[in-house]
């Protein structure tokens, strides 16, 4: 579970909980397959989809990326993950 940094609680991520989708920040070097394996193994759930994007912000003409990615993990109906705080 070293790849998953922490859960994200924003307005959008709380809204996605109703669709059985969980949002967390992960290390940028981690792959989707690794994160899927970690989540399924650690929480005992079935992952059906994963979406990710890198967070960044523009500073003048340059774009600076953070050293983590945000993952939205969709679970099969009937499965859930306890809140990660």
Q: Mean pLDDT in the chain?
A: 86
pLDDT at 51: 93
Q: What number of CA atoms fall less than 13 Å from residue 6's CA on the CB side?
A: 4
Q: For residue 55, what are the CA distances in angstroms to 32, 66, 69, 79?
A: 16, 6, 6, 28
The domain locations on the chain are 4-56+65-75
In three-state form (DSSP H/G/I as H, E/B as E, the rest C), the secondary structure along the chain is CCCEEEECCCHHHHHHHHHCEEEEEEECCCCHHHHHHHHHHHHCCCEEEEEEEEEEEEECCEEEEEEEEEEEEEECCCCCCCCCC
Percent of the chain with pLDDT over 70: 94
pLDDT at 85: 47
- pTM here is 0.81
CATH classification of 4-56+65-75 is 3.40.50.150, yes or no? no
Residue 1 reports pLDDT greater than 70: no
Residue 76 reports pLDDT greater than 90: yes
């Amino acid at each position: 579970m070293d790849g998953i940094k922490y859960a994200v609680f924003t307005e959008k991520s709380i809204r996605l909980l109703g669709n059985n989708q969980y949002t967390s920040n992960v290390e940028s070097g981690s792959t989707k397959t690794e994160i899927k394996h970690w989540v399924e193994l650690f929480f005992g759930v079935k992952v059906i989809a994963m979406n990710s994007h890198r967070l960044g912000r523009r500073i003048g003409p340059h774009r600076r990326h953070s050293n983590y990615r945000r993952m939205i993990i969709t679970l099969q109906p009937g499965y859930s993950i306890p809140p990660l705080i």
